């Protein structure tokens, strides 16, 4: 992503975004194994990779054998895809193009839309004729960087910022909603424990976005989800009053909040609830921060 930003900042601010149609489903096993065998001589390793490719996939609880393709999401698939697309990298380098690729995601950076259209046509022809792959025309495009996403990020048109793509944010929020579902019936500590591995993994990938305010906003949103979860668990007015008082909320404010008919989400933002469940309370439970200064 950093290299893509550099290209855009240098004036290559049109992106040729190539999407390979069902790439992981269509890779030819024999051709792929020939490429692996050119680099790996250990027959045991070759046999293991062939077994990985032939393992098939589960559909409706039944195993379906695979005659082509690599298991999408499998640990070896990105490495094997690099072998298949190594020729593409060499061809783009030979042409002098500025590009970034990871597995089947490839973006090429040019200075104008006219150049982008030419590159899209020529590279699509190369992929089809030389590598026997098909470009998904509906999902590929020549566009400004802000209009496209690459590996879950979008980059500003001047290259100054790398932002988390909207779809990646939506996926993150959907996962957090699932983990903090009000009907799970677990303790707050258990909910936090479930959140920790997901948040740490997500932060490790998206934690270097720019600007970081999106991360601090997400932190606040997660804490509010947890306040809502706990407010529902407290279940009734007397218990809510007791819990607020136990956490230092003045008697009058605790009584007003506990007697409020307002819904769970709105109450999670109530001053009395926020006073009872300050940020440090979640820190003490081990809830990770998404924005860490050292990562910025």
The Cα 267–Cα 273 span in angstroms is 7
Crossing angle of the two packed helices 237-246 and 213-234, in degrees rounded to 10: 130
The Cα 78–Cα 14 span in angstroms is 26
DSSP-derived secondary structure letter, 153: E
Q: Is the pLDDT reported for residue 295 higher than 80?
A: no
The pLDDT, as a whole number, for residue 59 is 59
What's the average model confidence in pLDDT over 69-76? 69
Task: State the pLDDT confidence band at 294, using cuts at 50, 70 and 90.
Answer: low
Q: What are 85-96's pLDDT values in tens digits?
A: 888 999 999 999
Q: Is the pLDDT reported for residue 61 higher than 80?
A: no
Instruction: Provide the whole-model pTM.
Output: 0.79
Q: Is the pLDDT reported for residue 171 higher than 60?
A: yes
CA angle 117, 120, 122 (to 5 degrees): 110
Q: What are 111-170's pLDDT values in tens digits?
A: 999 999 999 999 999 998 888 888 889 999 999 999 999 999 999 999 999 999 999 999
Q: What are 3-39's pLDDT values in tens digits?
A: 999 999 999 999 999 988 877 776 777 777 888 888 8
DSSP lists the bridge partners of residue 20 as: 135
What's the average model confidence in pLDDT over 47-51? 85
Q: What are 188-222's pLDDT values in tens digits?
A: 999 999 999 999 999 999 998 888 899 999 999 99
Task: Output 32 or 278, whichever has higher pLDDT.
Answer: 278
For 1-5, 77-81, 196-200, 265-269, which range has the lowest pLDDT when averaged over its residues?
A: 77-81
Is 112 in contact with 14 (CB distance < 8 Å)? yes
Q: Closest Cα partner for 102 from 208, 204, 3?
A: 3
The pLDDT, as a whole number, for residue 69 is 67
Crossing angle of the two packed helices 188-206 and 213-234, in degrees rounded to 10: 170
Q: Is the pLDDT reported for residue 296 higher than 50?
A: no
């Amino acid at each position: 992503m950093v290299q893509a930003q550099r290209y855009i900042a240098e004036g290559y601010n049109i992106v040729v975004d190539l999407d390979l149609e069902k790439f992981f489903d269509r890779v030819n096993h024999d051709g792929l194994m020939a490429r692996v065998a050119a680099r790996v001589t250990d027959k045991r390793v070759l046999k293991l990779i062939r077994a990985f490719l032939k393992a098939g996939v589960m559909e409706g609880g039944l195993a379906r054998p695979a005659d082509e393709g690599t298991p999408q999401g499998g640990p070896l698939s990105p490495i094997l895809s690099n072998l298949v697309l190594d020729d593409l990298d060499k061809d783009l380098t030979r042409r002098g193009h500025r590009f970034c690729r990871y597995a089947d995601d490839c973006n090429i950076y040019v200075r104008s839309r006219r150049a982008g259209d030419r590159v899209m046509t020529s590279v699509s022809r190369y992929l089809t004729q030389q590598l026997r792959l098909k470009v998904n025309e509906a999902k590929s495009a020549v566009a400004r960087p802000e209009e496209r996403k690459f590996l879950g990020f979008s980059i500003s048109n001047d290259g100054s910022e790398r932002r988390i793509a909207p779809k990646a944010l939506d996926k993150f929020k959907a996962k957090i909603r699932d983990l903090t579902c009000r009907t799970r019936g677990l303790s707050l500590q258990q909910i936090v424990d479930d959140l920790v591995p997901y948040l740490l993994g997500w932060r490790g990938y998206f934690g270097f976005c720019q600007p970081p305010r999106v991360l601090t906003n997400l932190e606040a949103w997660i804490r509010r989800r947890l306040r809502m979860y706990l407010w529902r668990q407290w279940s009734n007015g007397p218990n809510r009053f007791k819990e607020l008082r136990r956490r230092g909320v003045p008697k009058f404010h605790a009584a007003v909040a506990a007697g409020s008919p307002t819904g769970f989400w709105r109450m999670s933002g109530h001053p009395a609830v926020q006073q009872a469940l300050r940020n440090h309370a979640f820190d003490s439970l081990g809830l990770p921060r998404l924005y860490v200064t050292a990562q910025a």
